[in-house]
Amino acid sequence: MNSQDFDKCRQFLEEHLSKNIGNKDLLAVYQKLIELKSQYDTATDKALIEKEIREAELNTQFRTSAYTNDTDLNKAVHRNNTDFNMAWNAQQAENHRHYQTTQANVFNQAMGNGYQPWSQPGQGQLPQQPGSY
């Protein structure tokens, strides 16, 4: 019974009780109305409390899942960034090593064979012939 209906019934019974104070039947009905309203309110309050408990439990589960997912995501992002940086650094080291090896090979060849810029013709030039000027 909602509060509006209860108030209408209560006012109706109180009005009739004030006119017939000695009517025990009206008094019993009034008492029964109060008892029923009390039972209804108790059941309603209990249902609201149970609903709030369920909502709190679901909210806790949601927050736990969200926190776990956020933590897993952050760990994956950090792992990906770390792997990327390690790969990039390894590639840079390999590039530098290759450059150093290439330079060493060029210098070794130049030192071993002598530096002879004239031994290779430039673009559009003919190679020099031995004994020619």
Q: How much is the pTM?
A: 0.49
Model confidence pLDDT, tens digit, residues 51-72: 999 999 999 999 999 999 999 9
Q: What is the pLDDT of residue 84?
A: 97
Model confidence pLDDT, tens digit, residues 110-122: 787 766 655 555 5
Check if the beta carbon of residue 17 is closer than 8 Å to that of residue 48: no
Q: At which residue do the structure tokens 């940086």 appear?
A: 85
pLDDT bucket at 7, cuts 50 / 70 / 90: confident
